[in-house]
Amino acid sequence: MIPAGQQQSFYDQVGGHETFRKLVHEFYRGVSGDPELRALYPEEDLGPAEDRLRMFLEQYWGGPTTYSEQRGHPRLRMRHVPFRVTPAQRDRWLNHMLAAVDTLELAPANDLLLRDYLERAAHSLVNAFED
């Protein structure tokens, strides 16, 4: 029960850990079948990347602060600077991420809020243009 005057976080509204676990797992299922995106992950096992993204999103949306406790401040743009993120890669990433959002069957307002954030974040990480 939420104390009077206190709002529930987006994390809790959408189902907490299980929702974000499913979102990120579905996203990486798409990445694993996309040779161009998969090539950006040097690890053979996508599990560690999956854990990092899930923890980041959980923390961003009001869940546990495990990401910062384990990895420090998110610094999203700084962490992506070493990678050449083109508009085409952004679009591929968004394609898989939005398909993963489709699997969640969120309430319309929550769905829109999540999609808006993911689209803005993806656009903000572009740091290179096509050759």
Task: Name residue, tokens 């829109």.
Answer: 112
Cα–Cα distance measured from residue 11 to residue 59, given in angstroms and rounded to the nearest whole number: 8
CB atoms within 10 A of CB 68: 13
Cα–Cα distance measured from residue 9 to residue 90, given in angstroms and rounded to the nearest whole number: 28
Q: Exposure pattern of 36-58 as b/e (b: 16+ CB <10 Å)?
A: ebeeeeeeeebeebbebbbbbbb
Residue 123 assigned to a binding site: yes
Question: How many angstroms separate the first and last alpha carbons of the chain?
Answer: 54
Sequence ranges of the binding site for heme: 123
**Binding site residues, as ranges?**
123
